[in-house]
Structures are given as structure tokens and as C-alpha cells.
A and B are shown apart, each in its own frame.
Chain A
């Protein structure tokens, strides 16, 4: 436990000084995806539900944020709130339907709903279709107290949002609710026979995960000042799976590591065009065949063996 505390303390110090040596916009983007991946991992890693359509929450929240802040000219806090609430509501509707099937069907159903949302976003008037929502203003937070036009100031706001989301997930996982989720993941029949209504727990986990993915998506729209179709597309749903997988499913810090790895990789490979996809696909194949525990999972295993030996 103490090593874990030291680790977290070091990471927070690193996060606080990071803008002095790294480009803040890159860091903010990575933090948004890290929160997104953590939200996804809450569902797959701890409830055993594989959603292949999480981009619908991430992307729609961006549109909600943009619409509230730009078209309705309201405060960014309300935009974030709208993003979270909208994504959670979408999660409630799609989740209630998806949990009626299990296993691989669940993945296909979430994927199909995300595709439906994608087609909706192409046509809906408020999303701007192919152009997306552009030029969302960066208005000051807390009624003018925190001006976020400066990237360095905004970075600390995004870091605070990320830490809030991460702490929420941490709290959920180590709560009695989280324990029941794990029990359902490992043996649903047994959890049912013990009197836990598995479906209600699954649905609540789904809504929580959707809401947090929405927080990540709305924050991303705040940072980048736009919301586009890419964020609701199936490729983004695949990316978040990849991030969680690379970092380590079912490890709480894994998705953060995975998100930073993938975003860094995309940053360096952006110029090569199609090869980003080829390499991402190849990583999927390699991870599934050889490193199913992911970076953090494998490291933890190695550490355990060292302690024991």
C-alpha cells in the first residue's frame, strides 16, 4: 500500500510540472483519453461488460458541450454538466437494451447502437454534420474567476477534472458496489443466487461508465474547441479498447498508461496516414496473442514474482 501511495505522489508531482517540458495541448488531449479509457475499463475490467460503442458517449458529450456553450451561449460548467448528463442518459437507454444479451452479443449491440448514433450525428442539424461544431469559445470558468484562454491555465483545470474522474472510479471500484460488480463478472449465476440483482448492477455500472466517458468527451471539446464526427465514429470506440488493453484491463492505472502510449504514438505517426491504423491493428493482434495483461498487468506480475523469489 505504501509503495502505491509513493507511486501516486510521484505521478501527481510529475503531472503538476509536466507543462514545463511538454506541450500542454498534447497533455490535455492525453488526459481526456486517459479518463475515457478509465471509464471504459470500469465497465470491462470490473463488470466484465465489453462495450464496443463507447465513442457514442465520448463524442455526443462533445456535441452537447459545444451546443450549450456556443449555440446557447452558457457557462462552460453547464456545458460539462450537459455532456455528462446527456451521455449518462444515452447510457441508460442503450445499456438497458444491451444488457438483455450477454457476452459477445453485448459487444455487437453496443457497436450497432454507436453506429446508429454516428448516422444520427451526420444528419442532425445541431452537430454540423460533416463539418462538426467549430470554434467553441473558451469562456472563463467560475463566473470569470479562471480564464482558460491560456493553455497552461486550462491544463490545470483539465488535470483537476481528470483527477476527479479517476478518484470517482477508484472509489466505485473499492466500494461494496464494486465488489458486487466483480462477483457478477466472475460468476453471474452465483451472484444472482446470493440475491444480487445482476442486471441492476450492470446497468448502473454502464450508466456510470457512460457518464464518465461523457465527462472526458465534453472536456476534450472544451480543450480543442471543436466537436467532430471522428469522436463518435467506430474507430474511436476501437481506440479506447486498445488503450485499456495496452495498459492492462482490470488494473486501475493501466488505461492511463495505455492512453498516453497510444496518443504519443498517434502524435509521432500522424504524418504516415494509413499506417496509424495498420500499427494499431498490429498492436491489437500482438497484445491478444502475447500480452493479454497489458503493460501494467505484466509489470505487476513481474514485481510479484520478484517479491516472491
Chain B
């Protein structure tokens, strides 16, 4: 069958794996965006910069303190998440009463500042991060690097854990309730402003965690999140931000579609997600999993 299509199975499965990995990052990032938007009503344009900060935190921890990857996997998101909490406390909370537009512009400005500062300090060429688990498996039809397999599994676990945390725990129930009606939830004695701060911190930590996972695959560079966040916006438009599971499925699905496009028609691989977005807008404007509010 493969000979018939003129495509080697190695190329096909290689690209599918790459697509799955990209999809893992789309899923983690769009999940964070959706959680933050649900609670804060802000589209977090800083998400790409915070993803980059996660990768940088891991890289600096390793370079300066010799902290191994597995420790960074926990410590780096905590550091960046705390940074997010400070941002929320100092800046973001001042604009909740304004139009969504201002949150978008504020976080866009913050992204420019953060990325500009990192670029100024460390340049834009990027630095490599050593692979923590080299080697791989020969599956017969393709070679599977262990670390890449780990990333896909880790992303799935993180996404499902987030889904569980929001849909199945008490804290998650508070969160969903506060999204629906913050005033009422406050009347029950729950500290909603703190819940909002916490949500932002968690969303940012999720982006940073994705960044740490990406560090050994990509170059750690100041601009690694710039284009990614734009693709993630398209993913969010396609999936709609109403459903957690929707974000996960859309993220992975679009990664796979991108991978397949690289096999069958490489010139379109950069734009295919945007084409899908246009099609979804034509057929189901609210997004695949979105509800029109």
C-alpha cells in the first residue's frame, strides 16, 4: 500500500510521531488558555512567552545549578507559575472590568517585554538542552526515540490530570461554579479573587511545563513561543474554549493533521491549521466543541 502511494512507511510514521508531539504541545497550551479564559475572561497572549520561560528556567537551572531535567520538570513550572501569580496580582486584576480587548492588548504588551528582555540577554539563536533519556526503540517500521515517546505520554497524562482536576474534584467544582457566577460563589464564602489568582498561576505553570518538555526537542530560544502561540490561537478557535476535553482532542488531532500534510503535501504544512480554521468557521462557527453563549 505504501509503495502504491509512493511514500515510505518510515517517512509516514516519522511525521505522524512529529505531528503527535506538536499536537501534545498544542493540547497543553490550548488547555491552559481555555482554563485562564474561563476564569479571568482574558486571552493570555503571554502564554507563548511563559512557555519559553519554562524552557529557559530548566536550561538555566541546569547550566548554573546543575539541576537535572526531572527536578526541573517540577521546579521550573513552579517558578514561572509564581511569576504568573505576581503578574496577575500586580497588573491583570486591574483590567477584569474592562472589555476583553484590553486583556488581550495588555498580555500582548507583556509578551513583547518578556521576549524582548530574554532576546537582549541571551540573543535569539538558541541553545541546546541535552536529551535526558537518549536512545530509542526499533519498532521494525520506524525508530522511536525514547524521549519523544515520553513527551507524548507525559502530555496525555498532564492533560487528563487537568481534566480530572477541573471536572472531578471539589476545587474544580468551585472553579467551574466561579466561572458561571462569581458573585454567588463569593456569597458562599469562597475567596473568588484568590481562586482567580490560583487559576492564572496554574495556567501559566502548565505553559511552562510544556516549555520544559519542549526544551530537549527544540532549541531553547527567546522567540520559541512567538509563532507557536499564534497557531495555538487557531487551535482554540477551531476547538472552541467551552470544553476541556475538546481542547485536548483538537490539539492532538490538529498535530496529526499537520504531520500528515507534511507527508502528502509539504508546502501546505505551515498553513494547514489555518485552512482548517477557515473551514470550521464556515461550517460550525462556534468551534467544534464550542457553545455559543
* A interface residues, Cβ below 8 angstroms from B: 50, 52, 97-98, 100-101, 103-105, 107-109, 111-113, 115-116, 119-120, 122-123, 234, 238, 241, 245, 273-278, 280-285, 288-289, 292
A101-B285, A274-B116, A285-B109 given as contacts; is B95 within 8 A of A119 (CB)?
Answer: no
- B102-A292 in contact (CB<8A): yes
- A238-B112 in contact (CB<8A): yes
CA distance A108 to B237 in the complex (A): 7
CA distance A113 to B113 in the complex (A): 24
Q: Could you tell me the dominant secondary structure of chain B's interface residues?
A: helix
- B100-A277 in contact (CB<8A): no
CA distance A278 to B101 in the complex (A): 21
- B120-A281 in contact (CB<8A): no
- B112-A104 in contact (CB<8A): no
- Contact count band on B: 35 or more
- B278-A115 in contact (CB<8A): no
- A111-B233 in contact (CB<8A): yes
Chain A residues whose C-beta falls within 8 Å of the C-beta of B113 in the assembled complex: 277-278, 281-282, 285
- B116-A284 in contact (CB<8A): no
A50-B101, A100-B285, A115-B227 given as contacts; is B109 within 8 A of A282 (CB)?
Answer: yes
Stretch at the interface among B52-60, B249-257, B267-275: B267-275
- A285-B120 in contact (CB<8A): no
CA distance A278 to B105 in the complex (A): 14
Min Cβ gap B247→A in Å is: 14
Chain B residues whose C-beta falls within 8 Å of the C-beta of A274 in the assembled complex: 116-117, 119-120
Chain B residues whose C-beta falls within 8 Å of the C-beta of A241 in the assembled complex: 105, 108
Closest 7 CB pairs of A and B: A284-B109, A281-B112, A116-B274, A278-B116, A281-B113, A277-B116, A100-B285
CA distance A108 to B116 in the complex (A): 22
- A104-B109 in contact (CB<8A): no
- A104-B116 in contact (CB<8A): no
CA distance A104 to B282 in the complex (A): 18
* B interface residues, Cβ below 8 angstroms from A: 43, 91, 94-95, 98, 100-102, 104-106, 108-117, 119-120, 226-227, 230-231, 233-234, 236-237, 267, 270-271, 274-275, 277-278, 281-282, 285-286
Chain B residues whose C-beta falls within 8 Å of the C-beta of A104 in the assembled complex: 43, 100-101, 104
Chain A residues whose C-beta falls within 8 Å of the C-beta of B226 in the assembled complex: 234
Best-surrounded residue of B100, B105, B227 (most CB of chain A within 10 A): B105
CA distance A123 to B271 in the complex (A): 11
- A284-B106 in contact (CB<8A): yes
Name the one of B101, B111, B227 contacting A281, with C-beta atoms under 8 angstroms. Answer: B111
CA distance A113 to B271 in the complex (A): 9
Name the one of B98, B112, B278, B282 contacting A277, with C-beta atoms under 8 angstroms. Answer: B112
CA distance A111 to B274 in the complex (A): 10
- B237-A278 in contact (CB<8A): no
Min Cβ gap A124→B in Å is: 10
Chain A residues whose C-beta falls within 8 Å of the C-beta of B271 in the assembled complex: 116, 119-120
Nearest A residue (CB) for B33: A108
- B112-A288 in contact (CB<8A): no
A101-B285, A288-B95, A289-B91 given as contacts; is B116 within 8 A of A281 (CB)?
Answer: yes
Name the one of A97, A107, A234, A275 contacting B281, with C-beta atoms under 8 angstroms. Answer: A97
Min Cβ gap B233→A in Å is: 4
Chain B residues whose C-beta falls within 8 Å of the C-beta of A234 in the assembled complex: 226, 230
- A284-B95 in contact (CB<8A): no
Min Cβ gap B140→A in Å is: 35
Chain B residues whose C-beta falls within 8 Å of the C-beta of A281 in the assembled complex: 108-114, 116
Min Cβ gap A103→B in Å is: 6
Chain B residues whose C-beta falls within 8 Å of the C-beta of A277 in the assembled complex: 112-113, 115-116, 119
CA distance A2 to B281 in the complex (A): 48
CA distance A292 to B24 in the complex (A): 38
A97-B278, A289-B95 given as contacts; is B43 within 8 A of A108 (CB)?
Answer: yes
A280-B112, A284-B112, A285-B110 given as contacts; is B270 within 8 A of A119 (CB)?
Answer: yes
- B230-A115 in contact (CB<8A): yes
Known: A97-B278, A281-B110. 13 other contacts (CB 8 A): A50-B101, A104-B104, A108-B236, A111-B233, A112-B230, A116-B274, A238-B108, A274-B116, A278-B120, A281-B113, A288-B105, A292-B98, A292-B102
